[in-house]
Structure 1
Amino acid sequence: MSKREGSAKAVDLTLVATLLEETGDDWDRRSHRASVLAEATVDTGIGSAWVAREPDHPDALVFHAWSQLARGLRDGQLEDAGQLVSQCHQAAELRPEDPLPWVVLIGVSRIERYSQNDVNAVWREATGRDRWHREAYLQMLAYLSPEEGGSSAAVLDFVDVVRTRIPANAPCAAVELTAAVRQYQGLLAQGGVRAMTAGQLWEGGQIAGALEQAAALWPKPGFFQHAAAPADLNVLAYALCAAGRAADAHPVFQALQGMVTSWPWDVDGPALQRFEQHLAKSERGRQGGIGGS
């Protein structure tokens, strides 16, 4: 490493440390910043450099753990699961009130496929510290999904248990709609008759009700206050377009003001391109007074 590269890494490390420290005990914002920063710097070695410099700092430990998790989810395996688990427990001991180490452990469980009982215990630790922790719900949803070794029935059971308990504007409010979008995309991926009939998923029952409520509430100014609200609004815009309700998606696109997330748009092409195509369709639908796709 050159002197210039080392200097740049030191500056980046200081910036990451400052951004995490600034969140204090705002667990929602802390989790959002940690996940975004870890994924953005996953191949830079910043996490390793930080934990080497401050091995007993809870932020350094949890950030390095999240960086390792992000790499593991991308590559399909962890370099050292035992070390990662140890770092999470150490971070939890140093800052017992922080749910983030436990959230990372749910993510580790996705790759290592720990038993349901073990994951449930970790889930209770995370949500016991922050009941509506968005990332905890999403990590658990992914662990239960058929794509990662779970099942559609397990996902439905999880959603059924939590849907009536979650406040409409909670950080984890999009978990039901997220599960529906993943189910819809799974049907499309199967091709054939399942893909042809995938749109029926939005037409009745609890999913239709969840979509209707979200469309009525989420785009309202100030309704959502959590850090990852734009990501959830992207899910809603996608779901409305998938349901053939492009015109109804227009207020959601307006609320987003051009903020695009890779998922769910990137499943069938470049995310920005797909987003802009559906945005244009929503504007045409609105002008025509229809919700057509």
Structure 2
Amino acid sequence: MAFLSSRRGRSRLAPELDDQDLGRLLKNLLATTRASTVGMTDMCVAQISRLLERDPEDWDRRAHRMGVLAEFLAGWRLPRSWATREPRNANALVLYAWSEVALARSQGGLDDAAGVIDSCLRAAELTPQDPTPWVALLRAARLEHWEQPQMFGVWNEVLARDRWNREAYLTMLGYLTPEEAGSRIQVLEFVDALCARMPANAPCAATELTAQVLQYHSVLDRGGFEALVARNHWSRATAAQALDRVAHTWVQPGFLRHARARADLNILAYALMAADRRREARAAFEALGGTVTHWPWQAGGDPLAEFEQAQRRVPRDG
């Protein structure tokens, strides 16, 4: 399955990134089948539960694990079965809701939006300090095209519990793009307000650079002449400055410490190569050690192939 670690040389798709416990769990789950017996399902649930109960107040790590598991289990019966059997288990409720959102992205919408929203709200009542149910609700609300006042209301619930929640900022960023419910001006205002007060190594530090990559992709998607000159995007002041601010800090050992740091380094390596800043990209590739994320590499085709092609273009000398 491409979702798990696939190898071509040293590079690999690893949704768990550097979370070894999560990686082991994904391998164990992969060893089962979607039509597994009740006993096997119980074993999987027990393993998932144990992992999600670790580091109970590390909201950043918790969101990473919940999100990866939800993507992996999208379409499986397990999340719904667990939530049905344990209706007062917040982990079960959130995993079910998040996995339904992950599945809905490929199906065009939620089959049971009311049920998903209710699961998030019940989980929030059971664990009032945990931002994760609100993160899941924010993802569902984006998919359901909620109005901006409602979206910002949910977003504020997340931030009240976890000020620099990476998933919340990136979800709102996507929602505010002109392709969804916002505009280019709203994206700029959102990013500017964040950068004015955010610590440089906060979990949501990639929001600004992600906005630039999204805009770059929107140009590529237009095709024709605009796509041919899309690289000019990175010569504009806002894009160049976004790269300048992070190109030499993120690659320093220990600077980025959040759970999805390697996902952010993938964004950095991709953006530097798109901007033809190949020498600077070398440090990002070295820091990654071959760990590849689907996004943003998948915009050009197979993410592993795109990653490796880009890596080969990096100068070997200083």
The gaps in structure 1 that reach 5 residues or longer are none
Which of residues 248, 273, 286 in structure 1 aligns to 2:280? 248
- Greater helix content: 1
Asked if 1:167 is matched to 2:206, the reply is no
SS at 1:146's partner residue? coil
Asked if 1:265 is matched to 2:297, the reply is yes
What is the count of residue pairs matched by the alignment? 286
Q: TM-score, normalised by structure 2?
A: 0.86
SS at 2:179's partner residue? helix
Which string of whole-angstrom CA distances, capped at 9 and with x for unpartnered residues, describes residues 104-154 of structure 1? 111112111111011111111101110000000111111112233432222
Aligned partner of 2:15 in structure 1 is none
- The CA deviation at 1:2 is 10
Q: TM-score, normalised by structure 1?
A: 0.93
Which string of whole-angstrom CA distances, capped at 9 and with x for unpartnered residues, describes residues 26-76 of structure 1? 000000000000110112211111112211111111111111111112222
CA distance in structure 2 between the partners assigned to 1:37 and 1:65 by the alignment:
12
- The CA deviation at 1:277 is 0.6
Aligned partner of 1:51 in structure 2 is 83
Aligned partner of 2:146 in structure 1 is 114
The gaps in structure 2 that reach 5 residues or longer are 1-32
Contact 1:20–1:59, Cα closer than 8 Å, also in 2: yes
Residue identity opposite 1:13 in structure 2: V
Aligned partner of 1:71 in structure 2 is 103
CA distance in structure 1 between the partners assigned to 2:307 and 2:109 by the alignment:
31
Contact 2:134–2:158, Cα closer than 8 Å, also in 1: yes
Which of residues 59, 82, 87 in structure 1 aligns to 2:114? 82
Residue identity opposite 2:123 in structure 1: A
Aligned partner of 2:69 in structure 1 is 37
- The CA deviation at 1:3 is 9.0
Aligned partner of 2:170 in structure 1 is 138
Residue identity opposite 2:114 in structure 1: G
Q: Looking at both structures, which has the greater relative contact order when contacts are Cα pairs under 8 Å and sequence separation is at least 6?
A: 2
CA distance in structure 2 between the partners assigned to 1:164 and 1:3 by the alignment:
50
More deviation, 237-246/59-68: 59-68
CA distance in structure 1 between the partners assigned to 2:313 and 2:41 by the alignment:
43
Aligned partner of 1:61 in structure 2 is 93
- The CA deviation at 1:192 is 2.3
SS at 1:148's partner residue? coil
